[in-house]
Amino acid sequence: MFLQKYLTLKTKIMKNLKYIFILAFLIINTKCFGQFPLKFGDGVITHSPNSYTAAGPSTTPAVVRVIHTSNTMTAPLGSTWTSPAPKPPNDFYTNWNVNTLGYVFGITMDQNTDPNVYVSSTQIYGSLTLNNRKIWRLKGQTPSIGSNSLVFDFNNISGSGTATSLRSLGNLKYGKFGTTENIYVSDWETGEIHRLTGNSTASSLWSNQPAFNPKFGKNNDDKREMPYGLAIRKISSSLSKLYYSKISTDSNFNSIGGYGNNEIYSVDLDAGGNFIFGTETFVNIPVINLSPGSWGGYVGSVSYGCQILPVISDIAFTNDGKKMLVGQQSWGVFGVLAPHNSNVKEFENSPLLSTNWVNSVNLFPSGQNLGANCSGVGGSKNAVGGVSYSDNKLRTNSNYACDDAVYFTADYINVATGSNTVYGVQGMNAHGGSSNSISNSIWIDADDNLNYYDKTFLGDVEIYKNPNACSPCDCGDWASVGLGDNANWWTNTSTPPAPIPSLSFNQGTSTGILFPHYNCKGNCNASFSYNLISPTTGSSIALSGSSSLDLGQTAIKNLPCGSYFINITPICGNIKCPPIRIPLVIVCPPPCSDCGGNASVTLQGNPVYQNGMISGNFVINNSTPISEVRMLVEEFRLVSSTGNENCILCKNTPKTWGSIQSAVLSSIAPSFSNAVTIDNREAVFNNGGIIPMPGTLSFSLALPQTTGLDCCNLKAEICVKIIIRDVNCCEKEILKCFTVDLK
């Protein structure tokens, strides 16, 4: 009896322990994988509430979910990250539903420790029946965590005057400048980019500030064109740029341009986030248009006419602003998703801070390679338009590295009806180069339902980035400037900093190399730009240089005499930092004083004439060291010894009238043209130093050929001027004349 009671009690205890362990697991699991607050590396996605099945659509009300990509240790590469175990579920709060929020696409986050998430209305799922022009805040902190509040309703904003009342919003982006919080949103009804300011910690409506109306490079408004994808890029401590893509209601299906030609523009923002009107700039990216594609597997309620064209719906920048990630989504008609003809592309800014961008080495193929299943589509071109960088390394648990991964929405990733159908998000190595593929990416189904496919029902993705993962690349301090071998020509170590020395050169003699050293904040090195400034005129010209500046470049050597400044501007990441200004003086030699010394030029013998050329030698000497000698054919006359002037008529080629063909002085040999139309009248001897004296100047001059006729005897009368310049800037001119019989 005792044993039986003991065993019964033991059994009850074991059952209770089991329930306790289950309850503890659920509590721990809820704490680790709850919707909010977000962990670094977690993502937020949007999607339509509908899912397509083989039998037809079924509904689930959620339109926003959290994907727990902060810990991807259990995620396989190239296969489905299953649900519910070992992948945590894609969570959502009950109020994140279509009846409350309506249809939403765009996602952005603020800069609070536990960020709020903001989503914007959309029409891309083919429905505008609910809340079609609103921005919502999904609260990221307690109390009321996960609750939603209206940020702004653009239904009260007047349209363009055309029949556009059914158009919704495009995308949105949060940016904080100083203490001013801003949300920028693209509006397809007015064609504008709105700017809202408000308080992210309050539930009150935000204020609508003056909007920016993009003209996309045109002089006048074109109501067919409007902005879509948005991203902010910091340029300096007082300047940022808002980048935006262009879409258009017009589509020429015979053109690869499609709905807007996949163009990107930017507008400047001041230190408070205000638009700087008049600064719209075209951003030169490689052409990413795709030929119209067709897909015959799905028609649904919209007839695509077998024409599917991509637009740019999302833009993201790396922390340093050097790379731009672009997400396309396919449309079959204006503003409505279609599948299978859009890319994820990454570009690099080259040169930095210019408007020019080139393809990066990293490829991000989206979804399966459709191949022959889709006419004109082919390849892994299944992007849905959401893109985001992440600071969490793939397949790790909260292991951070700056901009180390890329996430994007894809339609489709895998199809196996009834068991393993994946439409959702891919994660890839941000530095994978051309090796990136679907087989080395993470697959996440959007709604955790692998029995259904969500074609044309996916949306945006935004990853919560770790602000400490990327040491912010920002302005720091000047260290020093080296000049040639003198590494400490100027240093910034003293307090106050030592004055910057001046550079001084005689005109045309500048030489040496400057080596600037600047310490940026964060994990980045400085690059430099160089400008020459004239304080007299205020003009500025760019100098050629990268990590160093060659002072012997032509732009400096050819400067007129006077005072200038060399501006050296350090660039940290993409931020221009305070420059230093180096005084530069170009000195001209003073006027010559009374010149003394003796100079002599002697013609050795008579020049020898042979085959239309005379050759001779001058012996030159001077009592003061010589820096330059010039030889000029001052005068040339051709006369007839027999008095028959007709003998001269055919001797009129310029080259044969005493043109210098060669000249050498102390191994200094200027070059001359041998063209018959060129008359070389001057030879300059200057080696940049002292010319040894006495020296012999050997020369040859071209003369007319003899006629061979006794009645046509000619002679040439030639005067050569020798100009001797000594080291004191004194010049002496000596004229030597001689006559040559041409027989």
Give the per-residue pLDDT at 707: 64
Domains and CATH numbers, the chain: 31-463 (2.120.10.30), 474-587 (2.60.40.10), 599-742 (2.60.40)
Overall pTM > 0.85: no
Token pair recorded at residue 541: 């010209």
Q: What torsion, rounded to 10 degrees, do the Cα atoms 366, 372, 373, 375 define?
A: 90
Q: Which residue numbers in the chain have pLDDT < 50?
A: 1-33, 53-58, 160-164, 254, 296-305, 372-374
| Cβ neighbours, 10 Å, residue 429 | 19
- The C-alpha angle 347, 349, 350, rounded to 5 degrees, equals 120
Q: Are 290 and 260 in contact (CB under 8 A)?
A: no
pLDDT for 400 equals: 92
Q: Which amino acid is at 369?
A: N
How far is Cα of residue 25 from the mean position of the Cα atoms in its chain? 49
Half-sphere exposure of 97 (CA within 13 A, CB side): 7
pLDDT of amino acid 308: 80
pLDDT of amino acid 25: 35
List Cβ neighbours of 36 (8 Å cut-off, separation of 6 or more): 66, 93, 114, 138, 139, 140, 141, 145, 146
- 3-state secondary structure labels for all residues of 401-438: EEEEEEEEEEEEEECCCCCCCEEEEEEEECCCHHHCCH
Q: Which of 44, 45, 43 is nearest to 411 (CA)?
A: 45
pLDDT in tens, 270-319: 999 999 999 999 999 998 877 766 554 444 444 444 578 889 999 999 99
Q: How many CB atoms lie within 10 A of CB 85?
A: 9
For residues 311-320, one letter each, b for 16 or more C-beta atoms within 10 angstroms of the residue's C-beta and e for the rest, the string is bbbbbbbbbb
CA 220 – CA 553 distance, rounded (Å): 44
What one-character-per-residue DSSP string does 295-319 give? --S--TTS--TT-BEEEEEEEEE-T
What's phi and psi for 645, nearest 5 deg? Answer: -70, -20
Please give the distance of CA 574 from its chain centroid, rounded to a whole number.
9
